[in-house]
């Protein structure tokens, strides 16, 4: 049967759905074939696995593909697209929750919408021939993509296609654009928690929809737990008007000084060569994420980096979960992490959480301190008392907010156990210590068995071979106010990351070298030396960007051996980046 005849069939779509149990549209009789300027929609769908549904209006129906990894954004990148059944035209406005027990159960967002053109002008003929060169004009997706049909697999009854980025690279989307609906301005969390009458948002243009309060779940989820909608970003807004105020937490504490909620520079840990021992110390896991203060005031929750940058929109599921803190105002100290299947935090995974269109790893906020609560200053209390109050405060929140518990046992055995689990280090804290904002007093210390730290990017080299954009980044650290070169980092990048970093670099280009110790006289035993001849192929940058780098060790000539790029850091100022030396 030809594609031209079969496109009018919504039979498969209707057979799979019970419209008395789902608010998905049943669809009217397919309309006539449209002229040039068809509409398209991309729906973000948190079903068993998060994916994106790409739908093209064609011959009165929506031709549809499931795209597990979202849209490629760098020229030449390709993602799998699986052809699924035709959907009715009304489905382009569907945004809501498909109830459990139904086909495709989960939350659906209208992630993008707009119009498309197909090369040659005849979309049905291009579809029949198995190649559609598309130009999309959406609210988010603008540019060229190509859908190419591959051979049908004998083991799979669904036709597989490749979605390829054609034309120019697409600029990275902002965190807000990636996480909010193109139709209503809502996030996945807001859509999932909306009342049943809001499940189908037909032709709705207002972004003022208010989510009902999310149900809190006592206890802690396992490392493998991933609540529905968790990978989508949630609202920054204040508590919904319809939500009852959380019952304030009652604690038996001495009279404390008054304090207003606001930014407090986080206390810092001193790097040591070993883990201190004794009953005066408590031990915690060292997380591989971003240090974050969570502040609740006047019903609003904000997330702030240690460099006072706003993280609320980037990690809005955390802010959304913290809205139910049983306090009028509070300031928490903790770390936002993304975890792998074994529950291990990973800074690289956290970077993939922020990537446009990427499959999102589980996200958590580990709380390890409480600084302000209901107008009272907790910083002068001993650590053990602050931790007990923090644990009680977050006990009944969403499982994505977790407590960083103290670890009991012999320090040497704890280190061996944590190493065996693939973790990167531990933190020791004096249990009676006060909170010292911005200080690295030694009351908190960190012990790492992996070599990893922040560096400042000061330039890049030309690409070689098949690599595009750049070959390696040049990184360094500050010492006595001068930026010193440390290494050339050429691994840890994929094509999408190369493109996005290159775009950031272009606004920072400068004619002269920012490193005070270049050129070097010799390449050195590590091969990382930057001589005058090597510098001729470099492009120099203002030292504004901070990145995380993992490496094997420091060499005798102060270079990094086997460095690998992990991601950009927005939680640290460049001038704060120094060579970490254990004491």
Residues with a catalytic annotation lie at 286
DSSP 33: P
Indicate left, alpha or beta for 514 from its phi (over 0: left) and psi (-120 to 50: alpha): alpha
Backbone CA torsion sign across 145, 151, 156, 157:
positive
Contact 332, 355 (CB under 8 A): no
- The CA-atom distances, in angstroms, between 379 and each of 1, 117, 267, 376, 446 are 73, 60, 10, 9, 20
Contact 107, 228 (CB under 8 A): yes
**Coil, helix or strand at residue 159:** coil
CA gap 353, 307 in Å, rounded: 21
CA gap 105, 477 in Å, rounded: 50
Instruction: Write 224-229 long-range contacts (CB < 8 A, 24+).
Output: 224/341, 224/343, 225/362, 225/399, 226/362, 227/398, 227/399, 227/400, 228/46, 228/106, 228/107, 228/192, 229/46, 229/107, 229/188, 229/189, 229/191, 229/192, 229/317
CA gap 405, 105 in Å, rounded: 35
Contact 217, 399 (CB under 8 A): yes
Q: Is 375 exposed, middle or buried, given 0-12, 13-18 or 19+ CB atoms closer than 10 A? A: middle
Contact 346, 335 (CB under 8 A): no
* Residue where the block lists tokens 């397919």: 30
- 209: tokens are 């929809």
Helix (H) / strand (E) element for 144: namely strand 142-149
């Amino acid at each position: 049967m030809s594609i031209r005849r079969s496109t009018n069939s919504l039979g498969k779509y209707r057979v799979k759905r019970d419209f008395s149990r789902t608010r998905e549209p049943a669809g009217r009789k397919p309309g006539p074939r449209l002229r040039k300027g068809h509409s398209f929609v991309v729906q973000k769908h948190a079903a068993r696995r998060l994916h994106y549904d790409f739908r093209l209006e064609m011959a009165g129906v929506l031709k549809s593909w499931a795209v597990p990894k979202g849209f490629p954004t760098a020229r030449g990148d390709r993602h799998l697209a699986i052809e699924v059944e035709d959907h009715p035209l009304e489905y382009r406005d569907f945004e809501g929750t498909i109830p459990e027990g139904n086909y495709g159960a989960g939350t659906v967002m209208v992630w993008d919408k707009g119009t498309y053109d197909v090369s040659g002008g005849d979309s049905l003929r291009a579809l029949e021939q198995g190649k559609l060169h598309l130009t999309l004009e959406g609210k988010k997706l603008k540019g060229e993509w190509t859908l190419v049909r591959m051979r049908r697999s004998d083991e799979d009854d669904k036709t597989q296609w490749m979605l390829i980025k054609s034309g120019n690279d697409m600029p990275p989307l902002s965190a807000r654009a990636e996480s909010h609906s193109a139709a209503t301005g809502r996030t996945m969390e807001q859509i999932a928690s909306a009342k049943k009458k809001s499940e189908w948002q037909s032709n709705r243009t207002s972004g003022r929809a208010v989510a009902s309060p999310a149900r809190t779940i006592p206890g802690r989820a396992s490392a493998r737990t991933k609540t529905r909608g968790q990978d989508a970003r949630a609202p920054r807004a204040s508590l919904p008007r319809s939500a009852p105020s959380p019952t304030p937490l009652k604690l038996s504490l001495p009279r404390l000084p008054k304090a207003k909620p606001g930014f407090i520079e986080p206390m810092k840990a001193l790097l040591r060569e070993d883990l201190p021992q004794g009953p005066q110390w408590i031990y915690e896991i060292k997380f591989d994420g971003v240090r974050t203060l969570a502040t609740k005031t006047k019903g609003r929750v904000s997330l702030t980096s240690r460099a006072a940058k706003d993280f609320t929109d980037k990690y809005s599921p955390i802010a959304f979960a913290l809205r139910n803190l049983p306090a009028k105002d509070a300031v928490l100290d903790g770390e936002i992490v993304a975890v792998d299947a074994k529950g291990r935090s990973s800074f690289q995974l956290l970077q993939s959480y922020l990537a446009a269109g990427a499959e999102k790893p589980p996200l958590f906020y580990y709380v390890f301190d409480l600084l302000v609560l209901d107008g009272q200053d907790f910083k002068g209390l001993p650590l053990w008392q602050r931790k007990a109050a923090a644990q009680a405060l977050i006990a009944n929140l969403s499982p994505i907010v977790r407590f960083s518990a103290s670890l009991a046992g012999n320090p040497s055995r704890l280190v061996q156990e944590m190493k065996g689990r693939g973790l990167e280090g531990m933190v020791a804290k004096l249990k009676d210590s006060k909170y010292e904002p911005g200080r690295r007093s030694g009351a908190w210390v960190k012990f790492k068995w992996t070599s990893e730290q922040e560096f400042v990017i000061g330039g890049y080299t030309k690409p070689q071979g098949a690599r595009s954009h750049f070959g390696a980044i040049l990184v360094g650290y500050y010492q006595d106010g001068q930026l010193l070169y440390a290494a050339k980092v050429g691994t840890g990048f994929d094509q999408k990351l190369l493109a996005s970093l290159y775009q950031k670099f272009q606004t920072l280009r400068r004619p002269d070298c920012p490193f005070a110790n270049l050129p070097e006289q010799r390449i050195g035993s590590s091969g990382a030396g930057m001589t005058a001849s090597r510098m001729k192929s470099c492009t120099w940058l203002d030292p504004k960007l901070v990145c995380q780098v993992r490496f094997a060790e420091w060499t005798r000539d102060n270079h990094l051996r086997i460095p690998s790029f992990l991601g950009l850091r927005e939680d640290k100022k460049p001038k704060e980046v120094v060579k970490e030396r254990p004491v």
